[in-house]
Amino acid sequence: MDRPIGRRCALARVASTLAMPMAGSARAQPAPGSANCPALLQHTFNRLQDDRPQPLCQYAGKVLLVVNTASYCGFTSQYEGLEALHARYAPRGLVVLGFPSNDFGQQEPGDAKQIADFCFNTYGVKFPMFAKSSVKGAQANPLFAALARATGQMPRWNFHKYLVDRQGRPVASYVSEVTPLDTKLVAAIDQALAPR
């Protein structure tokens, strides 16, 4: 695609401070409680590709990297690194979870089909992606609201990352500028995946 994404992303970041948060189109439903499912994961979100409900409890016992994504941002190329992480560490128990959001600079304007097609056709994304929703402020979906409370950091832009351990506890939060293959993030993932 021919677009000046770096400049567009930077300009939109400034503009987004004046914008009102939009209500997300995805509505999370409480997932059935389970003794083996941490409270953080007791939610269900619709899958991006087909709108089928997906309980997050299916990821109990996994290490999670939860990321808010957007298709038209200077950080969008991070999809490539996220997919590489997911492919490399999935056998050891890492799952990357993507949550498209139009909260920052209106950089995720498309519908579910457009977003899913872009992610797969441009970056080969195979990790789980969920329906577009809000990730900040009063309109934040319940997972991002809980992650922000637990870490004290709400996403300030697209591609903010939260690392969640196997017990469902948020252990780290990374700003957008920290790339998926950054040595600090990779080391934290290795540590979270290490046998206890």
Residues designated catalytic: 73
Report yes or no: 170 and 151 within 8 Å, Cβ to Cβ. Answer: yes
Residues 6+ apart with CB under 8 A from 167: 38
How far is residue 149's CA from residue 147's CA, in Å, rounded to a whole number?
5
